[in-house]
Each structure stands twice: as structure tokens, then as C-alpha cells.
């Protein structure tokens, strides 16, 4: 159990009684209050099967009013809750730790409005990202974010984690794209910041409190988000590179030579790609290289963009930065390459346990920790591999082992966080703090900032019922 593994005590919350279940059934219908163990189980276990809670109840509201009514009641009864979107989070934030009541947004999936002139989409929090992307594509737009979990994650979960993803370098992060938010505070008050305007400097920018706060300050019920125009021309290159130094040189060159059309610059080392190709039986379109780089362009002129990327490949093959590569604009071929990249996250789960780290490190030191960890762990690890969003200075380091052991865990933590801190990096670049990292947050947040976080939490959720044991460390 996560609670035993992490040595945490249940806080003094109320315990759910049959009368509570009756109340919830009176607000929601019978079938939207799950209490059967087998029905509740999937909501208790996270995507990497690393954290498992012991919740006895899942509530599935259909609208903001229901969320508000439930929360008001939970707050009065001091019943702790755990908001859950698509449950694809990678830091244990989306599942309960003890018996917190799960509030699932799965049924709040209505698209409310799309303005194809301004690009503003307004929808409920439980809309699946890929469904939204398909919807806006029909009107000549795309979602401003894309990630491997798109088929399952919710926009409310994306907002609550400030998810980054594969094209942040081009379209920016959600603090910029999200135009407005509707959220419910712990006491049931609905906070209406659901504006669709690009500019709105009327006082405090309250929506930002809910973006990236991982369900600890309020529950996001609706989102207004800016959708960029669907690019008329998309090209993808997949390149083999000799060493990491050349990956960085290639990044610099891509920024200058591809300029405004560059939409993604991702890298993966040999182990990331070979392990994924082998474990998940996926094809690698080029042969074996120490590093792989994926470069995507989004533009408006196929001939111009295609030529630009092909010229980039030719020039950099001549310069020696690219050893071999392929460029394509065929949707099926692009899909094969993206699928290989997006599947790396799942490859480590096959046949063992994976320790995942998601860190920001200044680019010149971006890859340093991978060889350091390989040396430190020796044959205790099956694989240590590094990959990620070079354009955002964000590397994912996965350490795979046959099974979880305290020994390996204590060789990795806090070591890795200390190293990241020494390099002036962030211990969580895009996945958040969740349940797995509160005790390490101080490596990236100063005491003064932690103090303000604590004050905000006290103000917004005085009983601490919203996603307890997550984000904030016990002692600040």
C-alpha cells in the first residue's frame, strides 16, 4: 500500500458512513455513486501502478452544481476528496492515499462553445484531450497541447497539472493558453473566471491559482482555452546523432534554420528507443544511433516547409551533425514516428518496475545525470534511459528494475533531486509534485515561496479536504 510504502499517517478527516452514501445518492443518481470494491478499484490505482489508495466511494457528478453540492457537504463533514480526471498522472496525485472520496470528472464532458475566429474553446473539465482536438480540427483549429496520454487525459487534468507535452516550445504552456477557468472551492463556492478574452487585466489573475495546483486549491469544472490554427503543412524528421553535444548543436541550428515553423524538438537516447521498440514491438524507421532527434514543423506552405526541412537534413548530414535520417509529410509515416516517441513512457512498465523522474536542467547539463545514474546503479538497474523535450530543457529519466526495492529507491532519492538542485534545475518540470514528491519540493522551492503556498491553501481550503497528502509537504 502506498501509505505503508511511504510511511504516512491518515489525517484526522471524517470517515464515510452509510448516511453519507445515502446523501450522495440523493444528489447524484444511484449509478453515479460507486461503492462496490471492484467498481472502485480502477480509481484507486494510478497509471504506473505505483500508488494504490483505499477509497470506498467514487462520485461522478454531471455538472458544476453537483460538484458544488458534494463539496459543500464534504467540507461540513470534513470528508477528504481526491479529484480525478483521466488518471494518467505520473506522480500519484490522481489517486487517493487512504479513504478519500474520489470525485471523477468523466461525465462532465460537454463542449460548450467554439469561436473559430478567436480560437476560444469553452468546455467542461472531463472532456478527453483527443476528443477536443478532433472536434476543433473540424473547424480548422488544433488544441494548443499534445501528449502521449491524449486519448485518456482530461482537459481539467491538463489544466490542474499545467501539462506541458510535445509542442510547448511552439504553443507555450497552459498559463498562457488557458483563457479562463470555472472552479469550485472546498466549501462549494463556484468561482467564475470563465472569460474567453485574450486580454483581461482586471485585478488578480485568479485562474492561475487553479492551473498547476493539482486539485489542492479547487476543482476545475470548466475551461476556456485558446486553440491555434490547424497548420496546413506538417513535416516530421527523425534523425540519428552521434553524441549529446551534437543534439544541442542541432537544436541551435534548427531554431535558426527552421525559425517560425519549428513546432517540436524532442530527443531520445539509444536505450529509450531500442527498449521501446523491443518491448512494445514497434518499428524504428532508421538504424541504431547513440541519440535520436525528432524535429517537427507546423506551417502554412507545404513546398516551402518541406524544402526547408529537407535542406536542413541535407546540410546537417554534410556538417556531420546528423548521421542518418528521414523526413516525411505522409500522415501514416509521421504517426509511426510519433508513436515510437510517445510510447517510451509505457515501455518501462513492461516486465518490471520503473522509477520516473521528470526534471528541468539548463541545456548544457541536460543529459549529465543519465551517465551518472548508470554508473551509480551499475547492474542494479536493467536500464537507465533519458529522453524528452529538449526545446523546454525538460528531460525524463526512467530507471527500470525487475521489481521495486528500497535499496534502489534510496540510491536514487534524494540523490537525483540534490543533483538537479545543484544544477539549478527543477525537480518537477511538467508532471507536478503529486503524492510522490512533496518531501522533495524544497529542492526547487524556497522557504518563503512554500510559506505563501501554505497560506493560500489555508485560505482556499481551511479544512484541508482537497487532495490531502499531495503537493504541500507536512512541515513548512
Cα(118)–Cα(138) distance, integer angstroms: 15
CB of 191 to ligand FAD, least distance (A): 12
User: Which residue has the closest beta carbon to ligand FAD?
Assistant: 157
DSSP 240-262: EESSHHHHHHHHHHHHHHHGGGE
Question: Does residue number 220 form part of the binding site for ligand FAD (CB under 6 A)?
Answer: yes
Q: Binding of ligand FAD at residue 156 (CB under 6 A)?
A: yes
With respect to ligand 2HG, which residue has the nearer C-beta, 179 or 349? 349
x/- letters, 161..200, toward ligand FAD (CB under 6 A): x-xxxx----------------------------------
Residue with cell 541519440: 291
Compute CA distances 61 → 25, 96, 126, whole Å: 11, 18, 10
Smallest gap from Cβ 246 to ligand FAD, in A, equals: 24
Closest distance of CB 231 from ligand 2HG, Å: 21
b/e sequence 142-179, b meaning 16+ C-beta within 10 Å:
bbbbbbbbbeebbbbbbbbbbbbbbbbbbbebbeebbb
Q: Applying CB under 6 A, which part among 84-92, 171-179, 192-200, 405-413 lies near ligand FAD?
A: 84-92
Determine the angle formed by the axes of helices 331-342 and 270-279, rounding to 10 degrees.
100
Taking CB within 5 to 8 Å according to partner kind, which of ligand 2HG, ligand FAD, none is near residue 396?
ligand 2HG
The rounded distance, in Å, linking the Cα atoms of 200 and 20 is 41
Q: Which helix (H) or strand (E) holds 276?
A: helix 270-279
> Which partner from the list ligand 2HG, ligand FAD, none does 235 bind, CB cut-off 5 to 8 Å by kind?
none
Interface positions, 352-381, toward ligand 2HG (CB under 6 A): 356, 358
Give the x/- contact pattern for ligand FAD in 14-53, rule: CB under 6 A. Answer: ---------------------------------x------
Q: How many CB atoms lie within 10 A of CB 190?
A: 18
DSSP characters for 277-317? HHHTT---SS---SEEEEEEEEES-HHHHHHHHHHHHHHHH
Using CB under 6 A, which residues numbered 315 to 374 contact ligand FAD? Answer: 345-346
Told to check if 158 binds ligand FAD by CB under 6 A, we report: yes
Using CB under 6 A, which of the segments 55-63, 82-90, 194-202, 414-422 binds ligand FAD? 82-90
Total residues in contact with ligand FAD, by rule CB under 6 A: 39
Compute how many other C-beta atoms are within 10 angstroms of the C-beta atom of residue 212.
19
What is the Cα–Cα distance from 471 to 341, expressed in whole angstroms? 29
Question: Of ligand 2HG, ligand FAD, none, which one sits near residue 356, judging by CB under 5 to 8 A according to partner kind?
Answer: ligand 2HG
Q: Is 91 helix (H, G, I), strand (E, B) or coil?
A: coil
Q: Burial level of 29, CB count in 10 A (0-12/13-18/19+)?
A: exposed
Closest to ligand FAD by CB, 154 vs 185, is 154
First to last CA, the chain: 26
Among 345, 347, 359, 399, interactor with ligand 2HG by CB under 6 A: 345
Max Cα-Cα span within the chain:
74
Minimum distance from CB of 435 to ligand 2HG (Å)? 16
Q: Rg for the chain (alpha carbons), in Å?
A: 23
x/- letters, 114..143, toward ligand FAD (CB under 6 A): -----------x------------------
Helix (H, G, I), strand (E, B) or coil at 230: coil
Which of the residues 389 through 418 are near ligand 2HG (CB under 6 A)? 396, 398
Q: Which chain residues interact with ligand FAD by CB under 6 A?
A: 47, 82-90, 93-94, 105, 125, 147-149, 153-154, 156-158, 160-161, 163-166, 214-215, 219-220, 345-346, 430-431, 434, 467, 470
Residues of this chain that bind ligand 2HG (CB under 6 A): 90, 148, 344-345, 356, 358, 388, 396, 398
Amino acid at each position: 500500500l502506498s501509505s505503508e510504502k511511504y510511511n504516512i499517517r491518515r489525517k484526522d478527516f471524517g470517515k464515510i458512513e452509510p448516511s453519507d452514501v445515502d446523501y450522495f445518492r440523493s444528489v447524484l443518481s444511484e449509478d453515479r455513486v460507486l461503492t462496490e470494491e471492484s467498481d472502485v478499484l480502477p480509481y484507486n490505482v494510478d497509471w504506473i501502478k505505483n500508488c494504490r489508495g483505499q477509497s470506498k466511494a467514487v462520485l461522478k457528478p454531471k455538472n458544476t452544481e453537483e460538484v458544488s453540492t458534494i463539496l459543500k457537504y464534504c467540507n461540513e463533514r470534513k470528508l477528504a476528496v481526491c479529484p480525478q480526471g483521466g488518471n494518467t498522472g505520473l506522480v500519484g496525485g490522481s489517486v487517493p492515499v487512504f479513504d478519500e472520496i474520489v470525485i471523477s470528472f468523466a461525465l462532465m464532458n460537454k463542449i460548450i462553445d467554439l469561436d473559430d475566429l478567436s480560437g476560444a474553446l469553452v468546455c467542461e473539465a472531463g472532456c478527453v484531450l483527443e476528443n477536443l482536438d478532433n472536434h476543433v480540427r473540424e473547424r480548422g483549429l488544433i488544441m494548443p497541447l499534445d501528449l502521449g496520454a491524449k486519448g485518456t487525459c482530461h482537459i481539467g487534468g491538463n489544466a490542474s497539472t499545467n501539462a506541458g507535452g510535445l509542442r510547448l516550445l511552439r504553443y507555450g504552456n497552459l498559463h498562457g493558453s488557458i483563457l479562463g477557468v470555472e472552479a469550485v472551492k472546498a466549501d462549494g463556492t463556484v468561482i467564475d473566471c470563465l472569460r474567453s478574452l485574450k486580454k483581461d487585466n482586471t485585478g488578480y489573475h485568479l485562474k492561475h491559482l487553479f492551473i498547476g495546483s493539482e486539485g489542492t486549491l479547487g476543482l476545475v469544472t470548466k475551461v476556456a482555452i485558446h486553440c491555434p490554427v490547424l497548420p496546413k503543412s506538417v513535416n516530421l524528421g527523425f534523425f540519428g546523432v552521434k553524441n549529446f553535444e551534437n543534439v544541442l548543436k542541432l537544436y541551435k541550428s534548427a531554431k535558426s534554420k527552421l525559425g517560425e515553423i519549428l513546432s517540436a524538438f524532442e530527443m531520445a537516447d539509444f536505450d529509450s528507443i531500442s527498449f521501446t521498440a523491443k518491448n512494445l514491438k514497434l518499428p524504428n524507421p532508421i538504424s541504431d544511433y547513440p541519440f535520436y532527434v525528432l524535429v517537427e514543423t507546423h506551417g502554412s506552405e507545404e513546398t516551402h516547409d518541406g524544402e526547408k526541412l529537407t535542406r536542413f537534413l541535407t546540410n546537417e548530414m554534410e556538417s556531420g551533425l546528423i548521421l542518418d535520417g528521414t523526413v516525411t509529410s505522409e500522415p501514416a509515416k509521421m504517426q509511426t514516428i510519433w508513436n515510437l516517441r510517445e510510447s517510451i513512457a509505457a515501455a518501462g512498465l513492461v516486465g518490471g518496475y520503473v522509477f520516473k523522474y521528470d526534471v528541468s536542467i539548463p541545456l548544457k547539463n541536460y543529459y549529465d545525470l543519465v551517465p551518472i545514474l548508470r554508473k551509480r546503479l551499475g547492474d542494479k538497474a536493467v536500464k537507465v534511459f533519458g529522453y524528452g523535450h529538449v526545446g523546454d530543457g525538460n528531460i525524463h529519466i526512467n530507471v527500470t528494475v525487475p521489481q521495486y526495492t528500497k535499496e534502489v529507491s534510496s540510491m536514487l532519492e534524494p540523490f537525483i533531486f540534490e543533483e538537479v538542485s545543484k544544477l539549478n534545475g527543477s525537480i518537477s518540470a511538467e508532471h507536478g509534485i503529486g503524492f510522490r514528491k512533496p518531501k522533495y519540493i524544497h529542492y526547487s522551492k524556497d522557504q518563503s515561496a512554500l510559506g505563501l503556498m501554505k497560506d493560500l491553501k489555508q485560505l482556499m481550503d481551511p479544512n484541508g479536504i482537497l487532495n490531502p497528502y499531495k503537493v504541500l509537504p507536512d512541515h513548512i
